[in-house]
Structure 1
Amino acid sequence: MMPSLKERLDQAGIAVSEDEGEPALETPWFVRALQAFSGWLAALFLLGFIAMGAVFVLDTSVVAAMLGLVMITGAFALLRGTKGDFVEHLALAGSLAGQLLVAWALGAALGDVNAGFWWALVALQTLLALVMPSLTHRTFSAFAASLALYLALMEGISLPSLAGGLVLFSLTVLWLNEFRWPARLRTVQSLGYGLLLGLLAIQAMQYFGQSLLLGRYYTGTGLGWLEPWAGDALGMLALLLLLRYVFQRHASAVASSVRLAAFGALAVLMLLSLQAHGLSHGAVVVVLGFAIGNRLVMGFGGLLLLLSISNYYYWLEATLLTKAMTLFALGVVLLTIRWAMPRGWRAGEAKGAGQ
């Protein structure tokens, strides 16, 4: 006999109350938006007042770093105390100003914006993403850590695609373990969305051929010869991990023919990624969103797929007729896969039920 939903939730450590109380009234979105705007406006006035009296701290890196750390600590204390959208965004703005001061002090101490500078920011943003008691701040810090990682690898070893691959692999592991810690479910989700935003920004910059820092471009040194296949290799590794998770979770419902077809599609995707770089990243995020039942994650994957396909279509050295026929053939293949997948899945379920 299958356990009930309540029993399964109890086994997962999620408490279910028997009492049916009145649902809590949520604040309308426009009120929350007004509170967030008010928080940022108040923070800008406060920071402007502080800057007028403390502009001299920029002349001394030690004083700037100390003031920045004080502001970050104050934001942490404010978030630990009072809750609300106004306070959350006020603290976020104050924390961002403190982070800028710390970054200014780091740049002045190192004498240049080099790989060590960006690795220090990766460590700072990772720490803030883990300890800050605010979902908005965690999302922003995860996003900023992704961009800092991209710049650190670009500056150090000229391997930006590795940053995208590492971010993709990290968010795949994070989302697959979303329900492992029920008490920290919202925290894991906020970190996952931040990494998704970071991956989207990294891919967009790579496709458009622009630097994240305007006017600063990097020469091909270090391990640049691995570019851009290092990111695609990590994308394939993430997709293998994802398929392993799906097959283990639905072992009785997936037929062996479906497994072979999935690995065959993985091989085809790997070959396609050798030309359309980044295609595997979008496919991984789409499959991830489908596996965990998250439509927003699937939407991010769709954007990544559109970016990679559009980039390949734009740079493809072929006539417009050839491009149009290629898109037509790709559409037919995708529709065929969409038609075949539900039938193969139902066949696997019927076979598992018969056994």
Structure 2
Amino acid sequence: MNQPMNTLKQRLTQAGIALNEPSSTAPLESPWFVRVLQAFSGWLAALFLLGFIATAVVFVLESSVASLVVGSLLIGGAFALLRAARSDVLEHMALAFSLAGQLLVAWPAVEMWGISASLWWVLLALQCALALIMPSQVHRSMSAFLASLALTMALAVNGLAPVAIGLVVLVLTLLWLNECRWPGRIGAVQAWGAGLLVGLLVLQGQAYSNQLAWLYDSGAQWFGPWLASWLSTALVALALVCVILQAFRQHSQPAIAQRLAIYGAVALVAVVSVYMPGLGAGVTVLLLGFTIGHRVLMGSGILLLLMAASSYYYWLDVTLLMKSLMLLAMGALLLSIRWLLKRWWLNQWLTVHKPAPLGDANEQ
């Protein structure tokens, strides 16, 4: 009797399941307002320290080599501080040091290339490298956010600023869909996704508020504005297809007619998104959050849809009646897609959980 029990215990132990371990209480986390206060304290201390350093080594701005060396030292010091940081104060202090170092590193690049595409591509590469190597979730999110801005500025030089939004949506979708593929990097993937999500919201808000109109109306050197808009829409549609394919993997494959209807709806959303910028991004982020069960993504998708609808409603190139009819048609389309998906999932659930006939039950 004891031998089978010992064998079972050995098998569970080999599988990594611990038995008869003393119960231990999980460490208590600080409330959010305490962490915010600690972050503010870290930034305040870092700013005072950086101000003291700036008064002592102000000459570094006069030399590109000195600026590059001091900036690299600040970034290296921030990396070492983040490796040893065990509190929010030190983490945010290191983030402030890193941002100051990045500014000093960027200063020689500005003097060499000016405000050109080469400058923004170099800054994009720098932010991608920092997002990969920095051992901090906050820093990775900040680097991903700054990378989205640098990508937009780099593409804006050639009149391709709208394409940046499509690229951000596609990378954001691929990151969140493959979140669990690398168990050891889940935290990093979540940090990158959060930074890109904030970047997407900022880019869409700037596009709607028209504060950076030169990014979208500049003379294109490679493509016309309409072609850049179509390319951005195609990237967003590709991201939406990836979300739908992931939903199909989580459930059984629908029939061919249902799949054609869903892909037709994706094509219709893509076409309408050309005339209502931001609609495809909002639908993609909303469905992405629903697919992986992420409430922040779902809320961000709803916010993007509201921003797109409000911006389109105040577009002066189309009459109010036409815009109202377009919004009515889009609302009816989305509700129809929701009804079809619910009906399909209900049929699939009934097929899987179909009760056994009474005759078979009596024989058993």
Question: Which residue is 1:68 aligned to?
Answer: 71
Q: Normalized against structure 2, the TM-score is what? A: 0.86
CA displacement at 1:40 relative to structure 2? 0.6
How big is the shift at 1:210?
2.6
Aligned CA distance change for structure 1 residues 17 and 261 (closer, same or farther; 3 Å): farther
Separation in 1 of the partners of 2:229 and 2:18?
Answer: 47
CA distance 1:30–1:274, shift in 2 (3 Å): closer
CA contact (8 A) 1:258 1:345 kept: no
Q: Deviations over 1:118-138 (max 9, x none)?
A: 000000000000100110000
Aligned residue for 1:224?
Answer: 224
Q: 1:93 to 1:14 in 2, by over 3 A?
A: farther
Match of 1:25 in 2: 28
Displacement of 1:17 = 10
Determine which of 54, 59, 71 is the counterpart of 1:51.
54
Query: How much does 1:331 deviate?
Result: 3.9
Tell me if structure 2 keeps the 8 A contact 1:255–1:348.
no
Deviation at 1:222, TM superposition (A): 2.1
Deviates more, 1:315-324 or 1:172-181: 315-324
Compute the displacement of 1:327 (Å).
Answer: 3.9
Preserved CA contact (<8 Å) 1:289 1:295: yes
Of 120-129 and 14-23, deviating more is 14-23
Structure 2: gaps spanning 5 or more residues: 1-12, 356-364
Give the Cα–Cα distance (whole angstroms) in 2 for the partners of residues 14 and 142 of structure 1: 37
How far did residue 329 of structure 1 move?
A: 4.8
Residue by residue, what CA displacement relative to the aligned partner does 1:35-84 show, whole Å, maximum 9, x if unpaired?
A: 11110110010011011111111111111011001000000000001211
Larger deviation, residues 297-306 vs 19-28 = 19-28
- Any conservation in 1 of the 2:236–2:281 contact (CA below 8 Å)? yes
My pick for the range that moved more, 180-189 or 38-47, is 180-189
Provide the aligned length of Structure 1 versus Structure 2: 341
The 2-side partners of 1:177 and 1:272 are apart by 28
Q: Is the 8 A contact 1:13 1:182 kept in 2?
A: no
Q: Distance in 2 between matches of 1:71 and 1:122?
A: 19
Q: How far did residue 266 of structure 1 move?
A: 1.0
* Letter matched to residue 160 of structure 1: A
* Matching residue of 1:300: 300
**Residue identity matched to 1:285:** V
Give, in whole Å, the separation in 2 of the partners of 1:74 and 1:17. 44
The equivalent of 1:234 in structure 2 is: 235
Output the CA distance in 1 between the equivalents of 2:130 and 2:305: 30
Q: Does 1:131 align with 2:137?
A: no
The aligned runs of 1:100-139 (5 Å cut-off) are 100-110=103-113, 112-139=114-141
Counterpart Cα distance in 2 of 1:335 and 1:305: 14
Distance of 1:86 and 1:321 partners within structure 2: 54
Give, as a single letter, the amino acid of the residue that structure 1 aligns with 2:63: T
Q: Which structure is larger by alpha-carbon Rg, 1 or 2? A: 2
Determine the structure 2 residue equivalent to 1:279.
279
Note closer, same or farther for the CA distance 1:328–1:246 as it changes in structure 2 (3 Å cut). closer
Measure the CA separation in 2 of the matches of 1:261 and 1:189.
Answer: 32
- Partner of 2:149 in structure 1? 147
The SS at the match of 2:57 is helix
The answer for the alignment partner of 2:210 in structure 1 is 209
Answer 1 or 2: higher relative contact order, Cα 8 Å, separation at least 6: 1
- Separation (CA, whole Å) in 2 of partners of 1:223 and 1:319: 29
Aligned-partner Cα distance in 2 for 1:124–1:69: 12
What's the CA shift for 1:337?
A: 4.1
Equivalent in the alignment of 1:38 = 41
For residue 267 of structure 1, report the CA deviation from its aligned partner: 2.2
Question: 1-side partners of 2:39 and 2:297: how far apart?
Answer: 25
Query: 2:264 maps to what in 1?
Result: 264
Aligned position for 2:351: 351
Measured in 2, the distance between the counterparts of 1:301 and 1:154 equals 25
Give 2:88's aligned residue.
85
C-alpha spacing 1:212/1:107, structure 2 compared with 1 (3 Å):
farther
Measured after TM superposition, the shift of residue 281 of structure 1 is 1.2
What is the CA–CA distance in structure 2 between the aligned matches of 1:341 and 1:54, rounded to whole Å? Answer: 63
- Deviations 1:285-319 (Å, cap 9, x if unpaired)? 11111111001011111122222222222115444
Give the aligned residue type for 2:143. S
1:99 to 99, 102, 125: 102
Q: One-letter code of the match for 2:89?
A: F
CA distance in 2, matches of 1:68, 1:136: 20
The one-letter code sitting in structure 2 at the alignment partner of 1:94 is F
Distance 2:210 2:338 in 1: 33
Shift of residue 255 of structure 1?
A: 5.0
Q: 1:163 to 1:329 in 2, by over 3 A?
A: closer
Identify unmatched segments of 5+ residues in structure 1. 1-9
Which deviations, in whole Å up to 9, do the C-alpha atoms of 1:181-220 show, x marking residues without a partner? Answer: 2222111101001011111222222223332999x98433
